Structure 1
Amino acid sequence: MTTPPASPVAPTPDGTSTSRCPSCGAPASGRFCSSCGTALAGATCATCFASLTPGARFCHRCGTPAGAPSTAPSRGLASALPWAVAAIALVSLTALVVGQRFGARGNSDAPTTEVLDGANMQGATPIGPSATADAGRAPAGPVPRAPDISQLSPEQRAERLYDRIMTEHEAGREDAVRSFLPMARAAYEMIGPLNLDQRYDLGRLGEVGGDTALARAQADTILKVRPTHLLGLILAARVARMEGSAARAGALDARLLAAEAAERSAALPEYLLHRNDIDTALATARSAAK
């Protein structure tokens, strides 16, 4: 059944045209009846904005009651927010790129200050164009370490890897030790004929890596060249303990104690580099001899 259209009534004293509500018969003006909320001519749904039939009490499209307040969200801020975020991101990215370009340009003439630790943490080896000019000059402050060893000589690469492996071993990070060992052994193989200090380092790498054959070979070679060499005796004693030979380890400890005075007076460079190893081994030997 179709609801009859609103019937016109006489104008109000202020001149506003009114009609009667087709539902309740009350005088009404505008788009909805102020008495019952029924839609008048020209009314639209507050939710879906569909045109309402005069006299309808509900929207024929979405069912919203006629005259109900709008439930549609405000589109102003919601629609502008994505654009605002995108604009802020673009400005930030532009500022970052410009800053990096100007920073790189400003530092292009600055000298290289990266350094690498020397053998067994005993010093620093500068690299870069300013290394020669600044060789006798004390550094003004702490300098960063170079991130890789690709530009080093085989000797420097071997020393750096040895220091790193010993640090990881002392910290108990055996996974890191195993990952660096192949690189370190390859670096020592590239050096060529090894001196006694390098042979001790390579033997220690064999020890921490569980390669007793490598450690024993280096100890034997050191002692063949210099039978009283403190590091050779220490390495040989370590190998004996790895192999479970307490008697041989004790005999090597005795040789170490007997050779200490004469060998320390020789002041070999490797004795200074491995002073901690020597002091620890001597303390162990003296304790075992009591």
Structure 2
Amino acid sequence: MSCRACGSAVPATAKFCHKCGANLKAELPAAAWRVGLPWGIAGAAVGALLTALVLRSGAGRGATNEVQASFGSPLPAPDISQMSPEERASRLFNRVMVLAQADKQDSVSFFLPMAIGAYQQLPALDNDARYHVGLLQLAGGNTTPALAEADTILTSTPTHLFGFVLRAQAYHQLGDRAKERRAYAAFLKNAPAERARNRPEYNDHKTFLDAFHQEAVRRQSAAPR
């Protein structure tokens, strides 16, 4: 038996490929990922993508080659069998985010369960990991679980900025402009004190948070009085 994603030989009883992590029991979407699907985008867009992905520092270093590859360059599937659980989760997160940025929704749907499952296998989820899970859910258009991650973050840390970011993005997808504005307002209200705490996850995602802050200011200034 061969993996339909990377072509590796796998036992007939296997549920996931030991090489690339593909779900061997799932139906393959019509336009799903195949060997050679590029991981990244070319040129200046790479920098913007890295900002949008809000990669953890360790994950960013581990995925540099994949993300910087040109969009037309075939790349083999990553070997996740030798990775730690944390690295596996981060690598799959990177892949889903790159595919979402490229608007490859069939491929996002294919890899999303693997990425979510990888985070579920971690011993514990801190606020940064829950933020990543929320972003994954939003990439799949799943606003309810994304909002649940935001609620969990804000329950444990009521002023944590990642909770407001997830809420703003989820309500934007839902078209609930009133709640979206409230999420942006809550972000702006709590940002000065929260950024002063120098939480490690804020330092990892500084560029993204700066950009989100600017967007929040713009949204608030454009809001109806």
Q: Is this a same-fold pair by TM over 0.5?
A: yes
Q: Check the 8 A contact 1:254/1:285 in 2, yes or no.
A: yes
In structure 1, runs of 5+ residues without a counterpart are 1-117, 126-144
Cα deviations across residues 148-185 of structure 1 (Å, max 9, x unaligned)? Answer: 11111211111111111111111222222122101101
- Larger fraction in strand: 1
With over 3 angstroms needed to count, the CA separation of the structure-2 counterparts of 1:184 and 1:280, relative to structure 1, is same
Report the TM-score, using the length of structure 1 for normalisation: 0.50
2:191 counterpart of 1:253: no
1:1-290 alignment, distance < 5 Å: 119=56, 121-124=59-62, 147-290=78-221
- Larger fraction in helix: 2
Structure 1 residue runs of 4 or more that deviate by more than 3 Å after TM superposition = 118-122
Q: Which has the higher contact order (CA 8 A, sep 6+)?
A: 2
- Alpha-carbon distance in 2 for matches of 1:243, 1:257: 21
With over 3 angstroms needed to count, the CA separation of the structure-2 counterparts of 1:262 and 1:175, relative to structure 1, is same
Letter in 1 for 2:89: A
Cα deviations across residues 183-241 of structure 1 (Å, max 9, x unaligned)? Answer: 10110111132100000000111101011121011000001111111111100111122
Identity across the alignment (%): 40
Cα deviations across residues 99-122 of structure 1 (Å, max 9, x unaligned)? Answer: xxxxxxxxxxxxxxxxxxx84653
Give the SS at the match of 1:157.
helix
- Alpha-carbon distance in 1 for matches of 2:60, 2:172: 29
Letter in 1 for 2:114: M
Count of residues in correspondence between the two structures: 155
Q: Check the 8 A contact 1:204/1:215 in 2, yes or no.
A: yes
Q: Check the 8 A contact 1:119/1:163 in 2, yes or no.
A: no
- Alpha-carbon distance in 1 for matches of 2:110, 2:88: 15
- Alpha carbon RMSD of aligned pairs, Å? 2.2
